[in-house]
Amino acid sequence: MQVKINDLAFVPAEIRVNVGDQVEWVNEDFIDHTATANSGEWDVMVPAGKSGQVQLDHAATITYFCRVHPGMTGTIHVSANR
């Protein structure tokens, strides 16, 4: 599942994935960002023009933000595999 970072926003800001899926953030901005779980369980660097990934290993609703620009927020709903 891919989430774009464009003009200081996560697009789409809310996604649904299954346990075991990988989320990839693709940064289209000219400045570096992070995707940082509010819980602190992961902190992914997403440099300008590059991408960063995380694999989700448990069912949860995870909210995250960019540490450098904390107004940027997103939500991932992780469902258990059926």
Partner 1 sequence: MRMIEISGVAAAIVLAAVTAPVHAADKPSDAQIAHIAYTAGDLDIKAAQLALKKSKNADVRAFASDMVRDHQAVNDKALALVKKLGVTPEDNDTSKGLVEQSGEKQAELAKLSGQDFDKSYVDNEVAYHKTVNGALQSTLIPSADNGELKSLLQTGLKIFTGHMEHAEHLASTLH
Residues contributing to the site for partner 1 (CB under 8 A): 7-8, 30-32, 48, 66-72
Q: How far apart are CA 77 and CA 1, in angstroms?
A: 12
Q: Which is nearer to partner 1, 73 or 79 (CB)?
A: 73
Cβ(65)–Cβ(73) under 8 Å? Answer: yes
Q: Closest approach of Cβ 60 to partner 1, in Å?
A: 24
- Minimum distance from residue 77 beta carbon to partner 1 (Å): 25
User: Rounded to whole angstroms, how far apart are CA atoms 36 and 2?
Assistant: 16
Q: How far is the CB of 59 from partner 1 (least distance, A)?
A: 29
* For partner 1, the closer CB: 24 or 32: 32
- Residue 54 or 72: the one with the smaller Cβ distance to partner 1 is 72
